[in-house]
Amino acid sequence: MNPLVHQALHTETIELAQNQCLSGLLRFITAGSVDDGKSTLIGRLLYDTGNVAADQLASIQATSQKRGLAAIDWSLLTDGLIAEREQGITIDVAYRYFSTARRKFIIGDAPGHEQYTRNMVTAASSADLAILLVDARKGVITQTRRHAYLAHLLGIRELVLAVNKMDLVDWQPSIYRSIVDEFNAFVSQLGRHHVQAIPLSALNGTNVATHAEAIPWYDGPSLLEHLESIPSRRDADQTPMRLPVQRVVRVMMGNGANGATEKEFRGYQGTLASGHLHVGDEVEVMPSGQRARVTGLNIAEQALQKASADRSVVVSLDREIDISRGDMLSDPIQLPRVTKGITADVCWLSEQPLQTHGKYLIKHTTRSVNALFDDLIYRVDVNTLAHEAAPESAVMNDILRVKLKLQQPLFVDNYSDNRTTGSFIVIDPVSFHTVAAGVII
Amino acid sequence: MNSQSNDLLDQPHPSADHLDLLEAEALFILREVTAECRHPVMLYSGGKDSAVLLHLAYKAFHPERIGLALLHIDTGHNYDEVIAYRDRMAERYDCQLHVRNVEDSIRKGSVRLRHPLESRNSHQSVTLMEAIAEFGFDACLGGARRDEEKARAKERIVSVRDEFGQWEPKNQRPELWSLYNTRVAPGNHVRVFPISNWTELDVWQYIQREDIELPELYFSHLRDIVRRGDILVPVTHLTPANQGETVETISCRFRTVGDISCTAPVASTAITVADIIAETTQCLLTERGATRLDDRASDGAMEQRKKEGYF
Ligand SMILES: Nc1nc2c(ncn2[C@@H]2O[C@H](COP(=O)(O)OP(=O)(O)OP(=O)(O)O)[C@@H](O)[C@H]2O)c(=O)[nH]1
Ligand SMILES: [Mg+2]
């Protein structure tokens, strides 16, 4: 692209984004097997939307030239680690922020290599949409299925099947269609998803940010058009109110001057995991089961009448109740389950295998409890989705259904209903590493 | 009134909503770390990201006072104005301020310079690790952002460092949802970046919205510079003009403020935050690309420094 046109596009894009950002933030990730072109696609998307600064462009141009490449290697934009550039693969997720005239985006460019699945899972946990890439020459392979399964497990219901490197198969529609069919057949076994398939060439930018006129047999959207148009998820607004308490604040208000009496202020700090909270609402405090009314909602000096999901507030209540970190304020009608046993799907992320008799620490919302793996029910074969009953243990990248026994109760919802109160991580109490992630079912 | 216009009125301003979410995320992280860590500290340089982080800490703790001390690693090569600003802010926010000097590490011999005018920027890591050991900090909060640099784009929000302060980019902990694992073995610590997901534009829009005071260096002023390639090098006692270079007085501002020897200003006429926001949306160069003398040395310069304990 002509640099001047590029500059004009960039400026226009950001101005529009500031003034009329239409459909809210979209967080998406790339996924799929190693070398399928994920980083190239992101680089190309950023460039074609005017989101690559001149110095970044100059730097990757120079590196590409030094390597004797005929064209710019777009993956250099996100492959920021020295080892990644040396090996030509992505190792850990890169986060990039960009906007177009219609929307703001946060991208997580995930690695495809199986060894780094934990980093893909990290990126997927906060995403609304996943772009699953497939190399048109290779078709759907195990790693494509693994990533599709993990995206599904982590609650991503918007999928883009990007059939990439179409330039290397002469844009043959039959190749594209058979990949789409195979992928849809696999994904439909997982549950309900919305899948948009797009044939593209990340390298050439065909169907990335602009429509490919040259492909008469495809009349669907370009990748960018699709990303701009899908509605953003605000499920958390629709679910019952949950507020895990992070910290309790106690201060003396008033200074006793002019006859005013000092009064203790007590407030509960936390982020609304879901739902809405209004001044005057009744809440139930877990685990004590006591109820109180909200008398104040604050963000520093700013007093709110109402707070919605994801806002971090200080709540004050109309009576003194014993509340500490790890407790939860809840909608009194629709309560979470209080339980010392959970069933969950767990992805094992550590190189150290699961110690079936070992004690682990579970971090769930702001509460950490000791736990034992009571029962390993089955392991999932990501290729066939078959269940292998009663595995002995779990090794890195295994996905299994388990029962956990907890020393203290947790207040939980199903992950499908609530991403915050339905998820947890498993910490090894000796090494302190995060060894697994789980979703409650 | 029909329901459609009602809906429109109920909608928050979209970009305000965006800042609200970034703020909420940062408050959550600040509270998690102070609730879980034994002895956290905030690294504070007097730059704009530090200013935003300190303001966020104020909001995170309110109505309590900020439950964190501030730590500044002073290279001895800072602008006087920034040092005065630093002290003023520590007082305004009622925070204890620890200052540790690279000069002392040089005297002790733990930092060795190749030549006296060498940039002390990367040597900060040594002094920082000495301070961490001295106080026994187990968490250092900082204002680094992922959009600043390609190696930073890879770092976790809660990032583990070993006894040498080293970052192991190839072996980072998984970090899912907002479940932050702050636990580390004795001797190790975590670096925590509550504004990881903010862009330069977000930072300026937040400064505007919250009316956060900054050092005057961030706004357009007249300064003597020499041009070296596309970089405007400020003429100071540490970075004097070379023979044959023409010293010009131009209108400029800093986009990042750090050690004198490695930050350069950009030509600008922006005198208000609104002007800066307008310039930021038009700008074609990244924040560090335009202004940092330390990242230009090589492609992996930042990662290399981070592996050695730098922020
Ligand atoms: N011909 C052609 N080559 C492509 C296309 N997309 C990517 N490539 C090439 O495929 C190779 C791998 O691309 P990357 O973008 O690094 O792949 P990746 O999926 O990010 O790989 P990992 O992150 O390591 O899993 C590079 O040499 C690219 O230039 C395409 O559309 N057409
Ligand atoms: Mg990649």
Are B124 and B30 found together in one domain?
A: yes
Given a cut of 60, whether residue B12 has pLDDT beyond it is no
- Comparing CA positions, the residue from A273, A401, A289 lying closest to residue A342 is A401
What pLDDT does residue B73 have?
Answer: 93
Report d(CA A369, CA A325) in Å as an integer: 13
Does residue B115 sit within a domain? yes
A59-79 average pLDDT score: 91
The ligand 1 site (C-beta within 6 Å) comprises A 34-40, 75, 89-90, 111-113, 164-165, 167-168, 201-203
pLDDT top residue among B9 and B79: B79
Contact A312 B149 (CB under 8 A): no
Q: Radius of gyration over alpha carbons of chain B, in Å?
A: 20
Contact B35 A21 (CB under 8 A): no
Supply the CATH number for residue B149's domain: 3.40.50.620
Q: What string of H, E and C letters represents the secondary structure of B27-79? A: HHHHHHHHHHCCCEEEECCCCHHHHHHHHHHHHHHCCCCCCCEEEEEECCCCC
Q: Which of residues 262-281 of A touch B (CB under 8 A)?
A: 265, 267, 269-271
Report d(CA B87, CA B97) in Å as an integer: 8
What would the CATH number be for the domain defined by A337-440? 2.40.30.10
pLDDT digits (tens, 9 = 90+) for A211-247: 877 788 999 999 999 999 998 766 777 899 999 999 9
Average confidence score pLDDT of chain A: 91
Contact A246 B31 (CB under 8 A): yes
What is the whole-number distance in angstroms between the Cα of residue A74 and the centre of ligand 2?
A: 10
Given a cut of 90, whether residue A103 has pLDDT beyond it is yes
Overall CATH class of domain A238-330: mainly beta
Given a cut of 60, whether residue A256 has pLDDT beyond it is no
Nearest-ligand number for the alpha carbon of A43: 1
ipTM of the complex in this document: 0.92
Any idea which of A263-267, A374-378, A402-406 has the lowest mean pLDDT?
A263-267
Contact A310 B174 (CB under 8 A): no
What pLDDT does residue B44 have?
Answer: 96
Does residue B231 sit within a domain? yes
- The count of domains in chain B is 2
Are B283 and B252 found together in one domain?
A: yes
Given a cut of 70, whether residue A198 has pLDDT beyond it is yes
Any idea which of B33-42, B99-108, B177-186 has the lowest mean pLDDT?
B99-108
Are B219 and B180 found together in one domain?
A: no
* Position B195 confidence tier, pLDDT thresholds 50, 70, 90: very high
What is the whole-number distance in angstroms between the Cα of residue A91 and the centre of ligand 2?
A: 8
Does residue B208 sit within a domain? no
Does residue B207 sit within a domain? no
Range of A190-194, A289-293, A382-386, B145-149 with top mean pLDDT: A289-293
Are B183 and B248 found together in one domain?
A: no
What pLDDT does residue A24 have?
Answer: 83
Mutate: best of A9, A60, A434, partner B, most B CBs <10 A: A434
Q: Please check whether residue A217 touches B, CB under 8 A.
A: no
DSSP summary character for residue A201: B
Phi and psi dihedrals of A180, rounded to 5? -60, -45
A132-147 average pLDDT score: 97
What pLDDT does residue A259 have?
Answer: 58
Average confidence score pLDDT of chain B: 88
What global pTM score does this model have? 0.92
| Residue keyed to tokens 């243990």 | A393
Are B194 and B220 found together in one domain?
A: no
Contact B199 A97 (CB under 8 A): yes
- CATH for A3-234 (3.90.1150.10, 1.10.760.10, 3.40.50.300, 3.40.50.10490): 3.40.50.300
What pLDDT does residue B115 have?
Answer: 78
Given a cut of 90, whether residue B30 has pLDDT beyond it is yes
| Domain hosting residue B91, numbered range | 16-202+301-307
Are B124 and B229 found together in one domain?
A: no
Contact B174 A299 (CB under 8 A): no
Given a cut of 70, whether residue B15 has pLDDT beyond it is no
Are B198 and B282 found together in one domain?
A: no
Phi and psi dihedrals of A242, rounded to 5? -135, 130
What pLDDT does residue B17 have?
Answer: 87
Q: Please check whether residue A18 touches B, CB under 8 A.
A: yes
Residue ranges of chain A that CATH labels 2.40.30.10: 238-330, 337-440
Which chain A residues contact residue B60 at CB under 8 A? 269, 312
Contact B153 A95 (CB under 8 A): yes
Report d(CA B39, CA B35) in Å as an integer: 10
B9-36 average pLDDT score: 80
Min Cα distance A89 → chain B (Å) is: 12
pLDDT digits (tens, 9 = 90+) for B225-237: 999 888 899 998 8
Residue % of chain B over a pLDDT of 70: 92
Which chain A residues contact residue B146 at CB under 8 A? 95-97
Contact between B82 and B256 (Cβ < 8 Å): no
- Comparing CA positions, the residue from A333, A334, A341 lying closest to residue A377 is A341
Kindly list the distances between the CA atom of residue B166 and the CA atoms of A118, B138, B189, B303, B311, in Å, as whole numbers in the listed order.
21, 14, 10, 11, 10
Nearest-ligand number for the alpha carbon of A133: 1
Closest residue of chain A to B26, computed from CA coordinates:
A312
Does residue B11 sit within a domain? no
Does residue B3 sit within a domain? no
Contact between A136 and A177 (Cβ < 8 Å): no
Contact A314 B15 (CB under 8 A): no
Min Cα distance A247 → chain B (Å) is: 7
Does residue B6 sit within a domain? no
> Among the atoms of ligand 1, which is closest to the Cα of residue A110?
23
Which chain B residues contact residue A82 at CB under 8 A? 299-300, 303-304
A322-346 average pLDDT score: 97
Are B182 and B83 found together in one domain?
A: yes
pLDDT top residue among B295 and B98: B98
What pLDDT does residue A136 have?
Answer: 98
Burial degree of A257 (CB within 10 A; 0-12, 13-18, 19+):
exposed
Which chain B residues contact residue A327 at CB under 8 A? none
pLDDT digits (tens, 9 = 90+) for B212-261: 999 999 999 999 999 988 889 999 888 889 999 999 999 999 998 878 88
Closest residue of chain B to A60, computed from CA coordinates:
B299
Are B86 and B222 found together in one domain?
A: no
Are B140 and B223 found together in one domain?
A: no
Mutate: best of B25, B284, B287, B298, partner A, most A CBs <10 A: B284
Residue % of chain A over a pLDDT of 70: 92
Nearest-ligand number for the alpha carbon of A94: 2
Does residue B110 sit within a domain? yes
Residue ranges of chain A that CATH labels 3.40.50.300: 3-234
What is the whole-number distance in angstroms between the Cα of residue A79 and the centre of ligand 2?
A: 7
